[in-house]
Chains A and B, each alone.
Chain A
Amino acid sequence: MNSLRGIILTLVALVVLCGAASAEERLKMSTTTSTQDSGLLKVLLPPFEKKNNCKVDVIAVGTGQALKLGEAGDVDVVFVHARKLEDKFVADGFGVNRKDVMYNDFVIIGPKNDPAGIAKAKTAAEALKLIAARQATFVSRGDKSGTHMKELELWKAAGTDPKGSWYIEAGQGMGPVITMATERRGYTLADRGTYNAFKGQKTDLAIVFQGEKGLFNPYGIIAVNPKKFPHVKYDLAMKFIDYVTGPEGLKIISGYKAHGEPVFFIYKK
């Protein structure tokens, strides 16, 4: 029984310690996996946390889910990439003060020998049409993420409804999808940041199509509407938005490199 008391005392001590550590304010931010997986948040958050004596709790999910967390009022700020959904989020009254932060672009990656011959396509939609015509393996995120939304947009532009055993809906994040496409020798639509983090050691797939303006991938940051959810930490959220879109944040973003290459670009003012 003495030992049991020991365990309980230890537990109480641990909780007191945890309580002391969590005295600072916490800002909850839902974001897309690409901002976390690229490693950007590891350098972007600490200066802000230090200056404001707070912690930014990052919940990294697909853009669709990230916005849903905002619609439920479970987070204070969202940082995502799906312009149409973001505008709807603001128009429906869930978010306020949307600001552009940065952009990168999507690329179509696939086996180096390019079995569907999409490298010669003029547009991304045309490239997808070629993949569908050859029934070459294509792995889709299938998770309502920003990347998935972009992919669906491109299929629509291609006038193709992708169906069949060649079209694999993974329902997973960008990383697992690149891994899956690599194992299955297929194509996929990836954001350049995650692809850069994977290329070489983790995947031998190459960029087979890039550089069309339809593949532009802008990121926006939005505060959750305090009129709708009085409990959100609106002031801190706005401070954070000002920091990210201000000179200090933008400098960190544009200077951030993975494998020696920039991952995100900022808008020229």
Chain B
Amino acid sequence: MDFFSESLKTALELITSRDPDVVSAVTVSVVVSLWSTLFASLAGVPAGVAVAVTEFTGKRAVVTLLNTLMALPTVVVGLFVYSLISRQGPLGGFGILFTPWAMVVGQTLLAIPIVANLTMSAIKGADPRIVPTALTLGAGPFESIRRLVVEMRFGIMAAVIAGFGRVIAEVGVAMMLGGNIRGYTRTMTTAIAMETGKGEFALGLALGLILMTVALMINMALNALQQR
């Protein structure tokens, strides 16, 4: 069996025919991942900046913790959130398990450490004279940090892109919290896992190629944004 050429052919067919299941899986993947990235950036960027520019006791521990969380297996995050939002869990009353929102929650938690860590690194790599200079020129502490962030926007954007890359590619959270419901919470990755389970390796690979194409296009768009 020539999986690869067969799946290339299948991928092209799926794209040109705009197969509704594939369109829906791409949409769910992209929408859920963008939301997660947005929330993770709202939390992770300020956290990363704060850790980078302030000195406090236990800072090293916080940095180590952030590094460890970056390596957190997606199924662990999935399991943790699952235990919270299942009807038996403390947040069960909202009934969000097996909805796209459950996936957004899980993926946001996955992406925060990455965004925070890479933001922190970017800020630490900044010219150390930016803040003092701004302060001398009469800017307040808040304004000078804003200057720093604007100065380091490429690095921060890279952190956000890395966060997006992590969530669009992951399968553990999407499978456990979304439940792989056709047309609702089925993402590209859970569709690939399912098709592989059904022995449809060529179709799985075809979906993989489509996912990579989509990820490439989004990254190109974000990069273009960064260049401006």
Contact = CB atoms under 8 A, between A and B. Distances in A.
Interface of A: 3, 7-8, 11, 14-15, 18, 22, 26, 28, 33, 37, 55, 57-60, 72-75, 172-173, 175-176, 178-179, 197-198, 202-203, 229, 231
Interface stretch (B106-114, B127-135, B175-183, B207-215): B175-183
B197 A57 contact: no
Contact of A3 (B93, B182, B225): B225
B67 interface: no
Interface string B95-112: 101101000000000000
B38 A11 contact: yes
B197 A72 contact: no
Contacts, number: 62
B87 A60 contact: no
A179 B201 CA distance: 11
Contacts of B181: 57-59
A168 to B, nearest CB: 17
Contacts of B93: 231
B197 A173 contact: yes
B90 interface: no
Contact of B97 (A58, A74, A229): A74
A181 to B, nearest CB: 12
B184 A55 contact: yes
Interface residues of B, number: 26
Given A3-B228, A55-B184, A57-B179, A72 B86 contact: yes
Interface of B: 31, 34-35, 38, 86-88, 92-93, 95, 97-98, 100, 179-185, 196-199, 225, 228
A55 B34 CA distance: 25
Given A14-B34, A58-B182, A60-B180, 16 more contacts: A7-B34, A26-B184, A28-B98, A33-B197, A55-B183, A55-B184, A57-B98, A57-B185, A58-B181, A59-B98, A72-B87, A72-B88, A73-B88, A73-B92, A74-B97, A197-B198
Contacts of A203: 199
Secondary structure of the B contact surface, majority rule:
loop
A175 B200 CA distance: 10
Nearest to B150: A1
Contacts of B35: 11, 15
Contacts of B196: 176
B198 A37 contact: yes
B1 to A, nearest CB: 8
11 contacts: A7-B34, A11-B31, A11-B34, A15-B31, A57-B98, A58-B181, A59-B180, A74-B98, A75-B98, A176-B196, A179-B199
A114 B225 CA distance: 62
By CB atoms of chain B within 10 A, which of A8, A59, A197, A198 has the most? A59
A26 to B, nearest CB: 8
A18 B100 contact: yes
Given A11-B38, A37-B198, A176-B197, A231 B182 contact: no
A179 B87 CA distance: 35
B41 to A, nearest CB: 10
Contacts of A198: 199
B83 to A, nearest CB: 10
Nearest to B225: A3
Nearest to A55: B184
Shortest 9 CB-CB contacts between residues of A and residues of B: A73-B87, A202-B199, A59-B179, A175-B197, A57-B181, A175-B198, A72-B88, A3-B225, A173-B197
A202 B200 CA distance: 8
Nearest to A10: B34
A173 B88 CA distance: 26
Contact of A18 (B31, B38, B225): B31
B192 to A, nearest CB: 13
A182 B148 CA distance: 59
A14 B87 CA distance: 28
Given A11-B34, A57-B179, A73-B88, A231 B184 contact: no
Contacts of B97: 74
A57 B225 contact: no
B147 to A, nearest CB: 15
A150 B49 CA distance: 57
Contacts of A73: 87-88, 92
Contacts of B184: 22, 26, 55, 57
B199 A14 contact: no
A32 to B, nearest CB: 13
Contacts of A18: 31, 100
